């Protein structure tokens, strides 16, 4: 499942506020500079059109918002996060790049999005779903604020399918990630939590099934970088699920490999 409910009250956002100042640097180092490529893959899959409204849930330091903006300058962008520390870093970053005025940053909870239904054309969440105490509820909320036919994109860590790669990656998570997180971000427990949360998070097929349960159809799953990250895409159904002739199901999921 996601972060255990007793962690979420304040604990997870507080943990992110503690590491906010060094979050980007630690990400770049731990991912071997792949994290930008993963976010760009999400933006490509979202295929945003000029003037569309895009919400980035768990925006953190705003890197995904910037990727959307680089791809299509006319997008109307919102970034939401529960951590003030992460939002402060995002705000400074947007200010430095001269973009602050055209992107709204909102403090709020992914499980109770402060937006009306059908407000967005695209909703995205990068490395945030795993941190929610109720990922399915989060997906339902994200589906709610999407207009019918709108696209939901999820980027999330996962364990590779291949046994030997999984073994190697397990060693990397256990021995290297907490050490580097301790050195660079000064918070080894936060990076121990990262490793634990990756191990505990359900497999890609389960995430795809949750997306279908949340009311998304044409759900597709793409493995990135040997399967240590997966990119999920779905579209909000255009009819109420009760009147759907055939509810979207995990059987309709398409898997793709990068």
**How many other C-beta atoms lie within 10 A of the C-beta of residue 147?**
17
Shortest distance, CB of residue 63 to ligand SAM, whole angstroms? 5
Select the span of 125-133, 214-222, 231-239, 244-252 touching ligand SAM (CB under 6 A). Answer: 125-133
Among the listed residues 26, 59, 197, 222, the single contact to ligand SAM using CB under 6 A: 59
Per-residue x/- mask for ligand SAM, residues 182 to 221, rule CB under 6 A? Answer: ----------------------------------------
**Of 41, 52, 63, 190, which lies in the binding site for ligand SAM, with binding defined by CB under 6 A?**
63
Q: Report d(CA 139, CA 175) in Å as an integer.
A: 32
The residue sitting closest to ligand SAM, measured at its beta carbon, is: 60
DSSP 19: H
Question: At closest approach, how far in Å is the CB of 10 from ligand SAM?
Answer: 10
Please report whether residue 13 would count as binding ligand SAM according to CB under 6 A: yes
Q: Which of residues 76-105 bind ligand SAM (CB under 6 A)?
A: 80-83, 86
- Paired with 56 in beta bridges are 79, 124
What span, in angstroms and rounded, lies between the C-alpha atoms of 102 and 89? 16
Strands ordered across the beta sheet of 216-224: 103-107, 76-81, 53-57, 120-126, 146-157, 229-236, 216-224, 254-257
Nearest to 253 by CA among 201, 198, 207, 214: 207
């Amino acid at each position: 499942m996601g972060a255990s409910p007793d962690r979420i009250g304040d604990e997870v956002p507080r943990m992110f506020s503690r590491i906010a100042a060094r979050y980007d640097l630690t990400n770049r180092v731990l991912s071997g500079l792949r994290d930008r490529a993963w976010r760009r893959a999400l933006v490509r899959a979202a295929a945003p059109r000029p003037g569309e409204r895009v919400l980035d849930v768990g925006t953190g330091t705003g890197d995904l918002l910037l990727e959307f903006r680089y791809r299509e300058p006319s997008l109307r962008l919102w970034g939401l996060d529960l951590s003030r520390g992460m939002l402060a870093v995002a705000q400074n970053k947007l200010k430095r790049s001269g973009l602050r005025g055209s992107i709204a940053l909102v403090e709020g909870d992914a499980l109770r999005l402060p937006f009306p239904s059908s407000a967005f054309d695209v909703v995205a969440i990068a490395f945030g779903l795993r941190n929610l105490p109720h990922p399915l509820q989060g997906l339902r909320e994200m589906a709610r604020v999407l207009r019918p036919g709108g696209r939901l994109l999820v980027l999330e860590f996962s364990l590779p399918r291949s046994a030997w790669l999984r073994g190697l990656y397990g060693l990397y998570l256990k021995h290297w990630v907490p050490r580097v997180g301790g050195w660079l971000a000064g918070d080894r427990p936060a990076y121990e939590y990262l490793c634990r949360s990756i191990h505990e998070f359900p497999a890609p097929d389960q995430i795809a099934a949750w997306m279908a349960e949340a009311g998304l159809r044409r759900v597709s799953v793409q493995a990135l970088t040997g399967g240590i990250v997966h990119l999920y895409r779905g579209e909000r159904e255009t009819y109420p699920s009760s009147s759907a002739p055939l509810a979207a199901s995990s059987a309709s999921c398409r898997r793709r490999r990068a």
